Structure 1
């Protein structure tokens, strides 16, 4: 599979997502993160009326995308009603449920998504599950937590049926755990294939110390996929 073909497919999916869904009257637009969203920001930056709307980032990367493409930068504190948002995903199931948070921005991504009238996902074909969540993305459900709750929540997640629970580490660039933009920790909990993401999200969210989960349910309007053959696939409810 040619890397160039994959990138072209990502670009085609992003451009099509913007062209088919962006409202002419839009005043506030959410911009997420990921390798495909780069092309979303590029396309928005080509619009003639780009000075007529403000863009809300979900993290540092998306803030830079907004600035680099000459778009107007705003914040969710200023604009809590968003006309449309575009974001990537780590996995999308056949019911448009998502796993997000591989890039450690899940809370702000969900905040922007929930505040949006339309939430459009753009990704490549490798992020599409043939059925349930947990098939393509096997690193576990990302969960943002208050730092001093990690030991208790780890035990709770095993009680809920998790196969493996890991406190995400910073790797070679940081000694110790990843710290989110909200100064929290991240846990990745592998539940295998997820039969009921709504139920699992609710169970995890009720644990004291959990800020948010990377399970996005009943939020997504459409998903656009850059296919292996260079074409664009679209999934709608």
Structure 2
């Protein structure tokens, strides 16, 4: 089975020429988002910079190169996997494996993409099968910045992206899929490679990816709003198939055989720092979206912890 693609807008052109034009517009949107994210968050005096995976990150590295600051050659760039390491090396930058980071040292900032981002900056990641290393880098970064195009900007997770990616030890695939069904996923499946006879996709850790569909994920705000309105009670614990995003991430992670869950939730790096922790956070502090009209929208955490969208 091929990995399902995000649902596209019905209004998108269908002819080959128009499709090529649309693809070009998407790539331009990614580049615009990357340039603004680098402008606002890249520090040429940083010691360590995290570089994520996926097509959007190519434009992040491109934007860093375009600064032409000689201090960039002193920075060690920490990749989230094989593909991102190749991007770093091709750009003539110095790479550093995650396990070579000095103890108790945070990455100054990590740039990465996402498959979908909600109003609270929770993310789905793992469409490129690098979610475990992406989470390692994000949680060791003082600031995690997401860069994406407008298709990834959604009010709730699983609005258009179809599944939660989960990295699973191969021996545990059958039992993990059974456990996911008990949590309410109707048809979780092992992600196959592009050539089916080659078998399932393998991660850099030699694990499988299980893709689990669920209904649209709730935020705490949805539960609180339902309580205020006095209507049907929402708990977000799987009743009627409805899950609050953090609760679902916790339940999936607790399944034996699961290495990592492609839900990036909880604290961000600034919130961890405020609590005196030497750690980053799974959630980005800001996400940059290249829009169809050429502008860049930014969803960012404010000093009071609220998240706002600026255009």
Q: Normalised by the shorter chain, which TM-score bucket? A: over 0.9
Larger Rg: 2
Q: Which position in structure 2 is the counterpart of 1:188?
A: 211
Separation (CA, whole Å) in 2 of partners of 1:15 and 1:114:
23
What does residue range 1-237 of structure 1 map to in structure 2 within 5 Å? 2-47=22-67, 48=69, 49-79=71-101, 81-129=106-154, 131-138=155-162, 140-172=163-195, 175-195=198-218, 196-218=244-266, 219-237=283-301
5+ residue gaps, structure 1:
none
Q: Work out which structure has the larger RCO, using CA pairs closer than 8 Å and 6 or more positions apart in sequence.
A: 1
Give 1:25 deviation, angstroms. Answer: 2.9
If the length of structure 2 is used for normalisation, what is the TM-score?
0.73
If the length of structure 1 is used for normalisation, what is the TM-score?
0.95
Q: Deviations over 1:147-199 (max 9, x none)?
A: 11011111100000112201111131652111111011110000120111110
| Contact 1:5–1:229, Cα closer than 8 Å, also in 2 | no
Runs of 4+ residues over 6 Å off in structure 1: none
| Contact 2:77–2:96, Cα closer than 8 Å, also in 1 | yes
Give 1:6 deviation, angstroms. Answer: 2.4
5+ residue gaps, structure 2:
1-20, 219-243, 267-282, 302-311
Separation (CA, whole Å) in 2 of partners of 1:24 and 1:70:
15
Query: Counterpart of 2:54 in 1: which secondary structure?
Result: coil
Query: Counterpart of 1:116 in 2: which secondary structure?
Result: coil
